[in-house]
């Protein structure tokens, strides 16, 4: 199957879904699921079938190209799978809401745009699909109106800044080399001066850094994730944000090349980028600990996990790039899973996302709890999950390359992740079940199905990491990096092997012993909701635990230092720009006399400049 036909199916299916919705919501839902699953099947079929084709000639004198290689396929399969599962989850989540035809159109357009990005063989096509993705995402973020509109505006304004930076870089490349084909422009860039290469990397890093929510371009992400519909939050945090990482890989290792990227600049551009990644790990992860809104908590982890990806890729070693790339594709599995878990809880509790108002839902929603547990383990990076393997590769690369402070930052980030996700699991699912949730039902099957599939992916690639690592190894070797010795269980090397089957056997043995101990002990005795104490005080029925406000005095002390100064700077800049534009707007009075006066003053200023210039 040609790549052009794949995109025709993706975009045509999106618009046809919208039209079918005008006839029947049932037909629309069936077709939306069918087209998203069909795209996943087609992308899977294209594995190992590299190709390049021209799908349009003469666009402003430039051909538009599509190409498929292992890097683009790896991202495409992640896009298709997460997109399909989110569509299936949406069937119940969006039931009874307004403008659902529009919602499914935008969801499928976002997926089609992302597929177009990774399949683009030239930068013009890349830019067009990038804009389709960005504007469709804006409309989905703003879907719920109210505060969602402000979140959407913040997202699209920052996206426009990134798009302008990307456009500047593209125009510069075309002005210098007369082509925007990725395969043709790469050899020209390889022979360019280091200053020009640095300029290209900086402008494109701004574009991709904004989309990847890298500090200081992160401020749009928490609001966007928390206000968007949960199925789209799974797509947004899981894979759309990681289009920025695809852009980094494309420019660092394909267009610029690994040798130039790793040796660029007196202070090494890639090393500076690694420190930016480390900062992105630590700060957002600990901000997540302070969140009581479950979606905002996960949103801040989206920023923090992006730091691991940037750190691994910026190291430039085979282990580091492999770990960073694996983490990019692992992230959609567990962060999308956790957002879907929140969506299922939100659906059954009538919109409750406050962690302090939940508790005990394990008894009513056991499958959802298992998904939350597996997703949290993957996000933390516990053994037998895919997150463990990618983090292990990054840690090992940091240690072997002699970067103790970067390794310490990565480790601190993991501890912060443990603490915040313990809060996430504990306050949502464990402990006493509030009286108002006694009759909460389990999530519908079409919500449970994506949760089960993503949980299985996390565990499968945690026990058998060699399956995706072999694909990633072919990607890194195409970058010119050293090949790794990969088997189905992990990686073997002279400095130590990763063998997940041994880890699996050890954990299974320990788990069996713990189970036997608990089995032999006395059974837990259930108690009434109000027969409980926390921090020496009575637990009221309307709250999960009394310690909700326990740290308020401490928060009041440190709150001046917990402000997002970067976000405040952007908001001041926005207000200043708005005020300036408002002042300029008053120039247009509609009075012809005023306009004549403007022309006279302009001519007078020109005469003055000419006279002054003549005197000089």
Closest CA to 489 of 512, 505, 510, 513: 505
Confidence of residue 583 (pLDDT cuts 50, 70, 90): confident
The reported pLDDT for the residue numbered 540 is 57
CA R_g for the chain: 26
Asked if residue 551 has pLDDT above 80, the reply is: no
Q: Give the model confidence (pLDDT) of 364-401 as tens digits.
A: 899 999 999 999 999 998 888 998 999 999 998 888 88
> To which H or E segment does residue 63 belong?
strand 62-68
Confidence of residue 264 (pLDDT cuts 50, 70, 90): low
What is the percent of the chain where pLDDT is above 90?
A: 30
Could you give the CA distance from residue 369 to residue 433 in angstroms, rounded to a whole number? 14
Q: Give the model confidence (pLDDT) of 294-331 as tens digits.
A: 899 999 998 888 889 999 888 888 888 999 999 998 98
The reported pLDDT for the residue numbered 58 is 67
Q: Give the model confidence (pLDDT) of 137-158 as tens digits.
A: 999 998 888 888 888 888 898 9
Could you give the CA distance from residue 115 to residue 66 in angstroms, rounded to a whole number? 11
Pure H helices in 364-403: 366-380, 386-400
Could you give the CA distance from residue 566 to residue 171 in angstroms, rounded to a whole number? 30
Pairing of strands 537-538, 533-534: antiparallel
Asked if residue 57 has pLDDT above 80, the reply is: no
Confidence of residue 616 (pLDDT cuts 50, 70, 90): very low
Q: Give the model confidence (pLDDT) of 71-88 as tens digits.
A: 999 999 999 999 999 999
Phi first, then psi, for residue 534 (nearest 5°) are -145, 130
Confidence of residue 352 (pLDDT cuts 50, 70, 90): confident
The reported pLDDT for the residue numbered 32 is 93
Point out the least confidently predicted range of 351-355, 508-512, 528-532, 568-572. 528-532
- Is residue 453 exposed (0-12), middle (13-18) or buried (19+ Cβ within 10 Å)? middle
Confidence of residue 566 (pLDDT cuts 50, 70, 90): confident
* Sheet with strand 490-492: strands edge to edge: 485-487, 490-492, 498-499
- Is residue 184 exposed (0-12), middle (13-18) or buried (19+ Cβ within 10 Å)? middle
The reported pLDDT for the residue numbered 52 is 84
3-state secondary structure of 271: helix
Asked if residue 117 has pLDDT above 70, the reply is: yes
Closest CA to 311 of 238, 221, 382, 414: 414
Asked if residue 558 has pLDDT above 80, the reply is: no
Point out the least confidently predicted range of 206-210, 372-376, 405-409, 553-557. 553-557
Confidence of residue 41 (pLDDT cuts 50, 70, 90): very high
DSSP label of 357: G
Q: Give the model confidence (pLDDT) of 155-177 as tens digits.
A: 898 999 999 999 999 999 998 88
The reported pLDDT for the residue numbered 495 is 65
pTM of the model: 0.88
- The residue that leads in pLDDT, 574 or 372, is 372
- 457-487: b (≥16 Cβ within 10 Å) or e: bbbebbbbbbebbebbbbbbeebebeebebb
Q: Give the model confidence (pLDDT) of 454-485 as tens digits.
A: 999 999 998 888 889 999 999 989 888 888 88
Could you give the CA distance from residue 142 to residue 90 in angstroms, rounded to a whole number? 17
- The residue that leads in pLDDT, 598 or 21, is 21
- 438-451: b (≥16 Cβ within 10 Å) or e: eebeebbebbbbbb
Confidence of residue 46 (pLDDT cuts 50, 70, 90): very high
Could you give the CA distance from residue 61 to residue 51 in angstroms, rounded to a whole number? 23
The reported pLDDT for the residue numbered 45 is 92
Residue 346: CB atoms within 10 Å: 17
The reported pLDDT for the residue numbered 50 is 86
Confidence of residue 96 (pLDDT cuts 50, 70, 90): confident
The reported pLDDT for the residue numbered 90 is 92
């Amino acid at each position: 199957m040609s790549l052009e036909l794949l995109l025709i199916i993706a975009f045509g299916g999106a618009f046809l879904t919208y039209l079918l919705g005008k006839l029947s919501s049932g037909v629309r839902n069936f077709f939306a699921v069918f087209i998203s699953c069909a795209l996943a099947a087609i992308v899977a079929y294209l594995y190992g079938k590299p190709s390049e084709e021209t799908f349009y000639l003469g666009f402003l004198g430039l051909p538009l190209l599509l190409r498929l290689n292992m890097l683009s396929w790896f991202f495409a399969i992640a896009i298709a799978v997460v997109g399909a599962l989110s569509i299936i989850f949406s069937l119940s989540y969006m039931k009874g809401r307004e403008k659902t035809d529009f919602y499914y159109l935008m969801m499928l357009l976002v997926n089609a745009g992302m597929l177009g990005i990774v399949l683009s063989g030239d930068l013009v096509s890349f830019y067009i699909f990038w804009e389709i993705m960005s504007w469709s995402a804006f409309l989905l973020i703003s879907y719920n109106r109210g505060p969602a509109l402000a979140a959407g505006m913040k997202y699209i304004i920052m996206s426009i800044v990134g798009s302008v930076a990307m456009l500047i870089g593209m125009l510069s490349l075309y002005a210098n080399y007369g082509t925007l084909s990725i395969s043709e422009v790469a050899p020209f860039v390889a022979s360019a001066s280091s200053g020009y290469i640095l300029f290209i990397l900086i402008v494109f890093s701004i574009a991709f850094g904004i989309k990847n929510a890298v500090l200081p371009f992160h401020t749009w992400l928490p609001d966007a994730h928390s206000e968007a519909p949960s199925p789209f939050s799974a797509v947004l945090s899981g894979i759309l944000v990681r289009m920025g990482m695809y852009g980094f890989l494309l420019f660092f290792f394909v267009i610029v090349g690994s040798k130039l990227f790793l040796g660029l600049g007196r202070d090494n551009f890639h090393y500076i980028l690694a420190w930016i990644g480390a900062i992105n790990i630590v700060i957002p992860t600990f901000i997540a600990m302070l969140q009581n809104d479950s979606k905002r908590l996960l949103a801040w982890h989206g920023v923090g996990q992006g730091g691991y990806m940037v750190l691994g890729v910026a190291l430039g070693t085979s282990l580091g790039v492999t770990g960073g790339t694996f983490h990019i594709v692992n992230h959609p599995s567990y962060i999308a899973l956790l957002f879907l878990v929140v969506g299922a809880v939100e659906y059954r509790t009538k919109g409750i996302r406050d962690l302090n108002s939940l508790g005990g839902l394990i008894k009513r929603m056991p499958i959802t709890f298992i998904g939350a547990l597996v997703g949290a383990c993957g996000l933390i990076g516990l053994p037998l999950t895919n997150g463990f393997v990618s983090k292990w590769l990054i840690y090992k690369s940091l240690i072997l390359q002699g970067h103790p402070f970067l390794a310490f930052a990565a480790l601190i980030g993991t501890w912060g992740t443990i603490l915040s996700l313990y809060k996430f699991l504990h306050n949502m699912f464990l402990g006493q079940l509030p009286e108002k949730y006694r009759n909460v039902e389990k999530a519908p099957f079409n919500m449970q199905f994506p949760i089960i599939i993503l949980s299985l992916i996390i565990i499968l690639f945690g026990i058998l990491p060699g399956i995706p690592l072999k694909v990633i190894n072919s990607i890194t070797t195409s970058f010119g990096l050293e090949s790794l010795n990969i088997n189905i269980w992990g990686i073997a090397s002279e400095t130590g092997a990763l063998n997940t089957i041994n880890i699996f056997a050890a954990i299974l043995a320990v788990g069996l012993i713990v189970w036997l101990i608990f089995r032999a002990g006395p059974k837990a005795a259930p108690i009434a909701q109000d027969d409980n104490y926390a921090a020496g005080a009575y637990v009221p029925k309307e709250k999960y635990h009394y310690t909700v406000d326990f740290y308020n005095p401490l928060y009041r002390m440190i709150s001046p230092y917990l402000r997002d100064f970067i976000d405040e700077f952007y908001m001041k800049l926005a207000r200043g720009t708005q005020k300036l534009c408002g002042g300029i707007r008053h120039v247009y009075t509609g009075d012809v006399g005023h306009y004549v006066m403007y022309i006279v003053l302009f001519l007078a200023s020109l005469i003055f400049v000419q006279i002054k210039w003549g005197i000089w």
